[in-house]
A and B are shown apart, each in its own frame.
Chain A
Amino acid sequence: MAKYKLKEMKATRLGFGEALVEIGHQNPNLVVIGADVTGSVRTDLFKNAFPERFFSVGIAEQDMIGTAAGLAVAGKIPVASTYGEFATGRPYDQIRQSVAYSKLNVKICASHCGITVGPDGATHQALEDIALMRVLPNMVVLSPSDYIETKKMIKAVINYNGPAYVRFFRDNTPVFNDENTPFEIGKSIQLIDGSDVTIIACGLQVWEAILAEEELSAQGVSVRVINMHTIKPIDKNAIIKAAKETGAIVTAEDHQIHGGLGSAVAEVLTQNYPVPQEFVAIKDKFGESGNGMELMKLYGISKDGIVDAVKKVLKRKLVEKMELKYEK
């Protein structure tokens, strides 16, 4: 049996939209900027609740980021939201100069990230956004694993003073997190303890990792599962501890293999405690149309891909141990 119960299917983007309304009632400085698609990214909920604090800029993402920066200068807490690709790739230079370098309190909250956007195809599947945002100094990067965590994350991000990027998803996905688990930016959550290998996942791959653990534990493998909801600043201590205690790491994300969560984890491992690592990610390809789950399977980032990666990394771990013995 999976160690966590699937309570219901609900979208992370809905958690985002609802959180904005809840915070909006408490914090009069919260403002939201929309570049069309407000119904899709669920900022329509805030727009309807607080029309005077919602600003439409039209389909103009560069202007959206600049407008957000200006609102931050005026002391507001602006949330700029659209699809992941158009929230990061399109206005990249605006984010770099007017938000990150200028260290302004702008929250870029992107829905429709990853390949699970599905039928819209490659143009709408943000697969590079973690990498783009992660390399910017001053930028905090987060991705929630379900509807419940999204709500907690958005509240934490609004309370945090500084530039932040949050990536979430379109589809209704498994809700499994506990309402009462405290959420802290930069502090990962160990969902399952284990001693043979650690799966470090973010976003929708956290649930896939829980399913993979179920399958692997039935085969006698002891798997630790970590929800790395904050990709930057990454929880180094949890990664180093996992490397020391389990000796093998698998990272899992709905993002390109280059520059995402896997790279962030590898940077910590190579500088602190190198152990074998396998990457479950999109392998340097653009996506295509299909439904979300089909694409996750096709691109090897669902439970099956994680199970395969665990088996591979365990073999490498074994070979390394044998080589060490041989050398002695």
Chain B
Amino acid sequence: MNNFSIEKLYEMARQLRRDVIKMLTISKSGHSGGPIGLAEIFSALYFKILNIDPKNPQWSDRDYFFLSAGHLAPVWYAALARAGYFPLDELKTLRKIHTRLQGHPAPAHTHGLPGIEVASGSLGQGLSIAVGCALGIRLDAKKSRVYVLLGDGELDEGQIWEAAMTAAHHKVSNLTAIVDRNDCQIDNYTHVVMHLEPLTDKWKAFGWNVIECNGHSIEEFLNAVEKSKQCVDKPSVIIAKTFMGNNVSFMHNDYKWHGVPPNEEQAKQALSELPPTSFGDFIKFDWENN
């Protein structure tokens, strides 16, 4: 398990953003805005929160992480590589033939990556899986915790609310769900496509411990996770307010960046706004020397 300082976690978040920009520039296909907006959360998860052993992904006492909104894969892949699950160099194979970095995540025992437990991509399925996993480890009296990241647009799916009921019914308190509340989905803002508010009240009404935080503040997010761990009789959900494409000016809070990659000019612009870090890039483009 990593235990980065707050300062280093922010630096890693910036590196994850750089990684995502570069991965998508190479793949010329994939989702930009959501992954860029989740850099702080993935940095905090993989370099502070999760009790994992990347060299032994199936370690039986590990914490479990599920990405329900599978299209957010690029930032997950970057975090997994940076954490040591697979070589950094492989990030350049995103979405290409024979890659383990499938367009949407798949586990290592199919044709995907170590550190991924279940496939995702078709939305709304991850919360049920997280609840089942939490029930299973509770049965074994393990101290592990289960984390699942949900997109907010994904909350339109009925299965999410089936699982929300199941989690509360069984008092699954070893579970922390995180909602990426960026108010964006592929067609438009979520409040245009389907109203979700009052979202906090909805989760409360379903019997959950609800914690709100700024998803770009690592301090706030770590604090929210700590609070979720202290709740012993309910499942917890962190509603993390984020902005799609945060820290990349032309992507900021623009739902049109949901499902498209940057072109070379846009990548140059984005990288100029995200200074290099001490972790180093996985690839240097020819045009970066200028």
Which residues of chain A have a CB within 8 Å of any CB of chain B? 31, 33, 52-53, 55-58, 60, 62-63, 65-76, 78, 93-94, 96-98, 101-104
Which residues in B have their C-beta under 8 angstroms from that of A56?
169
Where the two chains meet, the residues of B that have a C-beta atom closer than 8 Å to any C-beta of A are 60, 64, 66, 106-107, 109-110, 117-122, 124-137, 139-140, 158-159, 162-163, 165-166, 169-170
Taking a contact as CB atoms under 8 Å apart, the answer to whether B162 and A70 are in contact is: no
| Given contacts A62-B158, A93-B122, A97-B119, A67 and B110 within 8 Å (CB-CB) | no
Say which residue of B60, B124, B159, B165 sits within 8 Å of A58 (CB atoms): B165
In the complex, the answer to whether A66 meets B136 with C-beta atoms within 8 Å is no
When distances are taken between beta carbons in the complex, the residues of chain B under 8 Å from A102 are: 106-107, 110, 117-119
- A sample of 18 more A-B contacts (CB under 8 A), given A53-B139, A62-B158, A103-B110, is A31-B139, A55-B166, A62-B125, A66-B125, A66-B131, A67-B129, A67-B135, A70-B130, A73-B129, A73-B132, A73-B136, A74-B137, A74-B139, A94-B159, A102-B117, A102-B119, A103-B107, A104-B118
Assembly CA distance A102 to B169 (angstroms): 27
Mostly helix, strand, loop or mixed at chain B's interface? helix
**Cβ of A93: which chain B residues have Cβ within 8 Å of it?**
122, 125
Contact yes or no, A62 B132, CB < 8 A? no
Chain B residues whose C-beta falls within 8 Å of the C-beta of A58 in the assembled complex: 162, 165-166, 169
Nearest-neighbour CB distance to chain B for A32, whole angstroms, equals 12
Given contacts A98-B125, A103-B110, contact A60 B166 (CB under 8 A): yes
Q: Are B135 and A55 in contact (CB under 8 A)?
A: yes
Cβ–Cβ contact A101 & B169, under 8 A = no
Quick one: which of A55, A67, A76, A98 contacts B118, CB cutoff 8 A?
A: A98
Minimum C-beta distance from B170 to chain A (A): 7
Instruction: Identify which of A31, A65, A70, A97 contacts B120 (C-beta below 8 A).
Output: A97
Are A98 and B119 in contact, with the CB atoms below 8 A? yes
Q: How far is the CA of A180 from the CA of B137 in the complex (A)?
A: 38
Which residues on the A side are within 8 Å of B133 (C-beta)?
Answer: 70-71, 73-74
Docked complex Cα distance between A103 and B106 (Å): 10
Say whether B165 contacts A66, CB under 8 Å.
Answer: no
Determine the distance from Cα of A53 to Cα of B135 in the docked complex, in whole angstroms: 9
Report how far A76 CA is from B136 CA in the complex, Å.
Answer: 7
* 8 A-B interface contacts by CB (under 8 A): A62-B125, A63-B165, A63-B166, A66-B132, A69-B129, A71-B135, A71-B136, A78-B132
Contact between B128 and A67 (Cβ–Cβ < 8 Å)? yes
CB distance from A50 to the nearest CB of B (A): 11
Verify A70–B165 contact, CB threshold 8 A. no
